Amino acid sequence: MINEETGERLLEYNSSREKLFLPEYGRNIQKLVLHANQIKDPAQRQEYVETLIELMNQMLPGTKSSKEIEDKLWNHLFFIAGYELDVAVPETVHVHHKGDVFMVPSDDVEYPQKKIPYRHYGFNVHTMVQKVLAMEEGPKRDEFAKVIASYMKLAYRMWGKEQFVNDELIKEDLRKMSQGKIDISDDANIDSYKNVVTTGGNSQRRKQFKSGGQQGQHGRRFQNNRSNNNKNNNNKKKRY
């Protein structure tokens, strides 16, 4: 941006520039599209616009050869140009007129406004409770209820940042969530998630490290090399 009075180059901010019609293409594409109206030769303008369509196609992800993408590019081109572009459009492309709504906004995603009495357990727990209520009474249903209670205890520990959680509290909450239809006995163990221990290569390495296996070998190798070097150094006597 140049000052007309002094001829000095000034900083140009985006707030002072022309508004972007389609920000996903950027300001440079918009300038190129607006420049197409200034080309007087029809053949040169047609070749320029077709090249510009290919450039716009490279900026959009997805399938590049589909007809929907081709219609979208040409409609976006005319929209940026203000529908004042005099070029030939492919026969398979339908260009909308000025004022038509061709960019239909997608439907708003509805946020699931579901009221649950115990939000710290999460909605999935309530879904699992309904699954248990639909099951037939028996050992399978009882074990499934214990798994849910164990998960509830884990979620409560993570939510409340507490190390020790009262099992009676978890069982009572599960009883209230199921309206008294799921009743876990007082002597039932619900610490199945607590006893899960992941075993892998790292634990084996830690065991070897603690036992001094690899460390001892490296240490002996270092001591042997050091002892040999000391012997060699002692054999070499300084001469004056």
pLDDT at 109: 63
pTM: 0.41
Q: pLDDT by residue for the chain (240 residues), tens digit each?
A: 566 666 666 676 777 778 888 888 888 999 999 999 899 999 999 999 999 999 998 887 665 556 678 888 999 999 999 888 899 999 888 888 877 766 655 556 666 666 777 788 888 888 889 899 999 888 899 899 999 999 888 888 888 776 778 888 888 988 888 888 888 888 888 887 654 444 444 545 555 555 554 444 444 444 555 555 555 555 554 454
Domain residue spans in the chain? Answer: 15-80, 108-195
The span from the CA of 121 to the CA of 6, in Å, is: 68
Tens of pLDDT, residues 28-56: 999 999 999 899 999 999 999 999 999 99
pLDDT at 1: 54
The span from the CA of 168 to the CA of 179, in Å, is: 16
| Ramachandran angles phi, psi of 127, nearest 5° | -65, -40
Tens of pLDDT, residues 79-109: 999 888 899 999 888 888 877 766 655 556 6
pLDDT at 107: 59
Q: How far apart are the first and last CA of the chain?
A: 80
> What is the radius of gyration, based on Cα positions, of the chain?
37
pLDDT at 211: 55
pLDDT at 52: 94
Contact 60, 69 (CB under 8 A): yes
pLDDT at 216: 45
Distances (CA, A) of 168 to 18, 39, 139, 165, 185: 66, 81, 21, 9, 10
All residues at 6 or more sequence positions from 25 whose CB lies less than 8 Å from its CB, including other chains: 56, 59, 76, 80
